[in-house]
């Protein structure tokens, strides 16, 4: 069993790694470790997580009430407490702002596709939780559902939450999800980013069972992220509004997407001086691109 002092040193190391990779800037991000059934050790608010000191940390109870420490916990502590409540199996939570993961969510593109075998093995999928204004009660509510089934969740336009048996496991999962995002980004730039087939995914699930790996929920099978399954409504995001790819592109606010104008209307208003023939060609190309995109939610 690690001492509390060792947990502090471990979180300082994780802070250096997350900052070193560029996944937090300034005072962003927060980490926590479950010391026992009633106590959580967590990072302070307003302090740079890349340069933490041993005495910066705070101990809180399971309701978030401070037990010890001179500083104050992050306003996003509630999100950590939600993770521990939903997942009695975990011992640590890492919240960061990984660049490419967040960029995908800002662009309205999900990372839920089954593109890489090791992701099917280790994470199953990477769902995106509903947009929630940072530091509000909506943030913990937005992850309540997805964190039950997944170790890595993207917070739309905000960051990531990863959980694990200890702080390094939660950090490793963050590293993996951002790596997947990076590979996905580059393959999309090259064009023709092909997801694994349904048969390949099912084969991987079988192999992982034989290897005795923990069971993972496969996102695509639930929300049809790959466009290869016949699955119905997405069960990932509690209360999640469905967001079509067209809505994601033409509306910057997914909540105000109910009465989305047609692509033709938007194109004509954005490009008023383009000839109808060229406009028709652009619309055709955009629609083909859209068809190849994955919506945030099924």
- Catalytic site includes residue 182: no
Tokens found for residue 145: 């559902």
Please identify, using beta-carbon distances, which residue of 76 and 222 lies nearer to Zn ion: 76
Say whether residue 159 binds Zn ion (CB under 5 A). Answer: yes
Say whether residue 73 binds Zn ion (CB under 5 A). Answer: no
Residues binding Zn ion: number (CB under 5 A): 1
In the complex, what is the shortest distance from the CB of residue 139 to Zn ion, in angstroms, rounded to a whole number? 8
Q: Can you point out the beta strands (E) in 101-225?
A: 128-129, 152-155, 159-164
Measured from the Cβ of residue 281, the count of other Cβ atoms closer than 10 Å reads 12
Q: How many helices (H) and strands (E) does the chain have?
A: 12, 8
Spatial CA neighbour of 20 closest among 50, 46, 54: 50
For 127, residues 6+ apart whose C-beta sits below 8 A from its C-beta are 110, 112, 146, 150, 153, 154, 219, 236, 237
In the complex, what is the shortest distance from the CB of residue 146 to Zn ion, in angstroms, rounded to a whole number? 16
**What string of DSSP letters covers 39-80?**
EEEEPBTTS-GGG--GGG-EEEETT--EEE-SS-B-TTHHHH
In this chain, which stretch among 7-15, 53-61, 151-159, 282-290 interacts with Zn ion, using CB under 5 A?
Answer: 151-159
Q: How many residues does the chain have?
A: 298
Please identify, using beta-carbon distances, which residue of 125 and 159 lies nearer to Zn ion: 159
* CA distances, 19 to each of 30, 154, 184 (Å): 12, 18, 22
Spatial CA neighbour of 64 closest among 98, 26, 30: 30
Residue number with the shortest CB distance to Zn ion?
159
In this chain, which stretch among 156-164, 187-195, 223-231, 274-282 interacts with Zn ion, using CB under 5 A?
Answer: 156-164
In the set 4, 13, 76, 246, the catalytic residue is 76
In the complex, what is the shortest distance from the CB of residue 17 to Zn ion, in angstroms, rounded to a whole number? 17
In the complex, what is the shortest distance from the CB of residue 77 to Zn ion, in angstroms, rounded to a whole number? 12
- Tokens 């992050």 -> residue: 74
Please identify, using beta-carbon distances, which residue of 146 and 159 lies nearer to Zn ion: 159
Please identify, using beta-carbon distances, which residue of 136 and 200 lies nearer to Zn ion: 136
Say whether residue 140 binds Zn ion (CB under 5 A). Answer: no
Please identify, using beta-carbon distances, which residue of 134 and 231 lies nearer to Zn ion: 134
In the complex, what is the shortest distance from the CB of residue 95 to Zn ion, in angstroms, rounded to a whole number? 6
Active-site positions? 76
Point out which residues bind Zn ion (CB under 5 A). 159
């Amino acid at each position: 069993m690690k001492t509390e002092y060792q947990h502090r040193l471990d979180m300082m190391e994780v802070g250096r790694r997350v900052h070193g990779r560029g996944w937090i800037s300034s005072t962003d991000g927060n980490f926590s470790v479950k010391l026992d059934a009633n106590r959580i050790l967590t990072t302070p608010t307003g302090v740079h997580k890349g340069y933490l000191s041993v005495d910066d940390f705070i101990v809180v109870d399971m309701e978030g009430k401070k037990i010890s420490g001179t500083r104050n916990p992050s306003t996003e502590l509630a999100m950590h407490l939600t993770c521990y409540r939903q997942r009695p199996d975990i011992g640590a939570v890492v919240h960061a702002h990984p660049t490419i993961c967040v960029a995908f969510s800002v662009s309205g593109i999900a990372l839920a596709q089954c593109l890489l075998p090791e992701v099917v093995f280790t994470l199953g999928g990477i769902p995106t939780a509903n947009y929630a204004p940072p530091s509000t009660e909506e943030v913990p509510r937005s992850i309540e559902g997805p964190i039950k089934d997944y170790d890595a969740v993207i917070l739309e336009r905000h960051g990531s939450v990863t959980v694990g048996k200890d702080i390094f496991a939660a950090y490793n999962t963050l590293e993996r999800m951002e790596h997947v995002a990076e590979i996905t980004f580059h393959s999309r730039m090259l064009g023709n980013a092909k997801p694994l087939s349904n048969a390949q995914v099912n084969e991987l699930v079988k192999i992982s069972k034989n290897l005795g790996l923990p069971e993972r929920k496969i996102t695509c099978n639930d929300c049809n992220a790959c466009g290869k399954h016949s699955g119905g409504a997405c069960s990932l995001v509690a209360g999640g509004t469905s967001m079509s790819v067209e809505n994601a592109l033409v509306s910057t606010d997914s909540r105000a997407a109910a009465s989305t104008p047609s692509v033709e209307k938007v194109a004509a208003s954005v490009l008023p001086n383009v000839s109808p023939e060229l406009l028709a060609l652009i619309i055709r190309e955009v629609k083909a691109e859209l068809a190849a995109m994955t919506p945030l939610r099924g």
